[in-house]
Chains A and B, each alone.
Chain A
Amino acid sequence: MVAGAATTTGGGWFARERTVAGPGFNRWMVPPAALCVHLCIGEVYAFSVFNKPLSLLHATTGADGVKVPGADDWSIASLGWIFSIAILFLGLAAAFGGTWVEKVGPRKTMAAAAALFGGGFIVASLGVAWHQLWLVYLGYGVLGGCGLGLGYISPVKTLMSWFPDRPGMATGMAIMGFGGGAFIASPLSVWLMGMGGVAFAFVVLGIVYFIYMMVGATIVRVPPKGWLPEGYVAPKQSKGLITTANVHVDEALKTRQFWLLWGVLFLNVTAGIGVLGQASLMIQEMFPAVTGADGVVTAGVTAAAAAGFVGLLSLFNMGGRFFWASTSDYIGRRNTYMIFFALGIVLYALVPTTGQMGSIVLFVVFYGIILSMYGGGFATIPAYLKDVFGNQYVGAIHGRLLTAWSAAGIVGPSLVNYIRQYQIDSGVAKADAYTVTMYIMAGLLAVGFVLNFMMKPVDERHHMEAEPAPSRA
């Protein structure tokens, strides 16, 4: 539990050597450091709260009190690109920055992420103040997106080095924070916009997030070389998918296992992100609100209730990240993904039935479990990579694998939107328009099941030579 002697050999405050833990350091200090970063960058999930206010910056108020967009106001479609650009650059930064992250360590990476993410908000605020959309794209999309990518992967390897006995739980805690960031950001953003408008909210958020993430960079520590938790005996031999060897990041891309896992993550995220984006509309269309003669809703789901449903799903998404990743430490990563895919197939296939039964409770329960496995997929993948490719380059390999997330972020929502619209245009009732979508998602998960089933240990010819993997982040 307690680290050994420190080795501080000069270098600036950001240098990896300055982050090596001293005697008496408690490894449970590291998860809060990771959470400082992930709770902030998880804000991206709540960015939609800015869309409507951003589309009405030059609006006028009509006689009926309703705001009418000005002639030069930004359209919702053009504002949607802010989120898409941010997710794209998240993937790119994680993929291309991973090797740098391995080299410089967690503190410098977290600080860079803080500067990019916080600075991105400040640049975006100028775009709002001057009404230049390209500046918002550049600020929040490009700079903020790079901050997201670097911040996301920055603590992953460090956490697994501190918790070699429970790597799933350790990364699950951090990635849970990414899922939980929206809970804080959403009400906070609404409150700040109420105080001083969107530009003001961006400035305050940029400053607050920078400071918060820098606290994480300050308290993060890497274990001394060779450190292991008390009572933990590192496995001497590879067992099943869990290797004691290391695979270089460039070599990992040449293995079949990397691309199988890329497909596993892509399919799990595609299915989840597709229905997550449509959750509010789906529940309202499958259970339309019925209003009595007195104007009181007697059955079905209102818009307010649907918003509550989306919030509930976010809780399942967040909780699933910790629960499934921790569970994977006991039942194995491969088995955990087998459950995601097998159970996912059953639940996706049954969701339309809950609509036909008129059972809102079953619909919510099924959807909740589906979203818990969506989050669980994100949180379990770093430990899966560590098992298969070793600890030495797991941060960089994880970064490259996250391109699957970027791809799924484009494919998933497009697939669900397109199929829904096609169904409605073909004359299918709105309540039934999701049936085909759900069956297609179940089909995607079936492919994922097969890919995961095909996972085998990496061939020894891909292993790095000799030096036993030291536990150093």
Chain B
Amino acid sequence: MANGASNSMNVKLALAWAFVGIPLAWGIITTLINALALFQ
């Protein structure tokens, strides 16, 4: 029972971090690609 609750919390945790992490990672990668122009 406790394991089930813990697993459920872990899934929520992963989803929550993905929800904010994926857009942020996309933004950072896009910015880095644009920043490469400085070194070309």
A binds B: yes
**Chain A residues whose C-beta falls within 8 Å of the C-beta of B32 in the assembled complex:** 311, 315
Chain B interface main SS type: helix
With both chains docked as a complex, state the minimum distance between the C-beta of B33 and any C-beta of chain A, in angstroms.
9
**Chain B residues whose C-beta falls within 8 Å of the C-beta of A360 in the assembled complex:** 38
With both chains docked as a complex, state the minimum distance between the C-beta of B30 and any C-beta of chain A, in angstroms.
5
A314: nearest chain-B partner, CB-CB: B31
Whole-angstrom distance between the alpha carbons of A364 and B38 in the complex? 10
| Cβ-defined partner of A36 (8 Å) among B12, B20, B30, B34 | B20
**Chain A residues whose C-beta falls within 8 Å of the C-beta of B35 in the assembled complex:** 308-309, 311-312, 315
**Chain A residues whose C-beta falls within 8 Å of the C-beta of B27 in the assembled complex:** 180, 182-184, 186-187
Within 8 A of A (CB), among B1-40: 2, 5-6, 9-10, 12-13, 16-17, 19-20, 23-24, 26-28, 30-32, 34-38, 40
**Chain B residues whose C-beta falls within 8 Å of the C-beta of A311 in the assembled complex:** 31-32, 34-35
Selected A-B contacts with CB under 8 Å, 20 pairs: A24-B2, A26-B9, A28-B17, A29-B13, A32-B16, A32-B19, A35-B24, A180-B28, A183-B30, A184-B23, A186-B27, A187-B30, A219-B16, A305-B38, A305-B40, A307-B34, A308-B37, A311-B32, A312-B31, A315-B32
> Is B24's CB under 8 angstroms from A312's CB?
no
Known: A24-B5, A28-B13. 4 other contacts (CB 8 A): A29-B12, A305-B40, A311-B32, A311-B34
Whole-angstrom distance between the alpha carbons of A25 and B23 in the complex? 25
With both chains docked as a complex, state the minimum distance between the C-beta of A471 and any C-beta of chain B, in angstroms.
20
With both chains docked as a complex, state the minimum distance between the C-beta of A218 and any C-beta of chain B, in angstroms.
10
Most buried by A among B5, B16, B26, B38: B38
> Is B20's CB under 8 angstroms from A177's CB?
yes
> Is A39's CB under 8 angstroms from B31's CB?
no
| Cβ-defined partner of A32 (8 Å) among B2, B20, B28, B37 | B20
Contact with B along A30-46 (1 / 0, CB 8 A): 00110110010000000
A36: nearest chain-B partner, CB-CB: B20
Within 8 A of B (CB), among A290-315: 301-302, 304-309, 311-312, 314-315
* Number of A positions contacting B (CB below 8 A): 33
**Chain B residues whose C-beta falls within 8 Å of the C-beta of A187 in the assembled complex:** 27, 30
Most buried by B among A24, A183, A360: A183
> Is B20's CB under 8 angstroms from A304's CB?
no
Whole-angstrom distance between the alpha carbons of A29 and B24 in the complex? 17
The yes or no answer to A215 lying at the interface (CB within 8 A) is yes
Residues of B within 8 A of A (CB): 2, 5-6, 9-10, 12-13, 16-17, 19-20, 23-24, 26-28, 30-32, 34-38, 40
Q: Please name the 10 residue pairs, one residue from A and one from B, whose CB atoms are nearest each other, closest first.
A: A183-B27, A32-B16, A308-B37, A184-B27, A308-B35, A35-B20, A308-B38, A311-B31, A312-B35, A305-B38
If A215-B19, A219-B16 touch, whether A184 touches B24 (CB-CB below 8 Å) is yes
**Chain A residues whose C-beta falls within 8 Å of the C-beta of B5 in the assembled complex:** 24
Most buried by A among B5, B13, B16, B27: B27
| Cβ-defined partner of B16 (8 Å) among A33, A182, A315 | A33
Whole-angstrom distance between the alpha carbons of A177 and B17 in the complex? 12
A35: nearest chain-B partner, CB-CB: B20
| Cβ-defined partner of A24 (8 Å) among B9, B34, B40 | B9
With both chains docked as a complex, state the minimum distance between the C-beta of A445 and any C-beta of chain B, in angstroms.
26
> Is B19's CB under 8 angstroms from A312's CB?
no
**Chain A residues whose C-beta falls within 8 Å of the C-beta of B9 in the assembled complex:** 24-26, 29
> Is B34's CB under 8 angstroms from A39's CB?
no
Whole-angstrom distance between the alpha carbons of A33 and B30 in the complex? 24
**Chain B residues whose C-beta falls within 8 Å of the C-beta of A184 in the assembled complex:** 23-24, 26-27
Whole-angstrom distance between the alpha carbons of A301 and B40 in the complex? 10
Whole-angstrom distance between the alpha carbons of A257 and B38 in the complex? 43
With both chains docked as a complex, state the minimum distance between the C-beta of A255 and any C-beta of chain B, in angstroms.
36
> Is A315's CB under 8 angstroms from B31's CB?
yes
Most buried by B among A35, A177, A187, A308: A308
With both chains docked as a complex, state the minimum distance between the C-beta of A101 and any C-beta of chain B, in angstroms.
21
> Is B24's CB under 8 angstroms from A177's CB?
yes
Whole-angstrom distance between the alpha carbons of A182 and B23 in the complex? 11
Whole-angstrom distance between the alpha carbons of A26 and B17 in the complex? 13
B6: nearest chain-A partner, CB-CB: A24
**Chain A residues whose C-beta falls within 8 Å of the C-beta of B34 in the assembled complex:** 307-308, 311
With both chains docked as a complex, state the minimum distance between the C-beta of B10 and any C-beta of chain A, in angstroms.
8
**Chain B residues whose C-beta falls within 8 Å of the C-beta of A28 in the assembled complex:** 13, 17
> Is B30's CB under 8 angstroms from A39's CB?
no
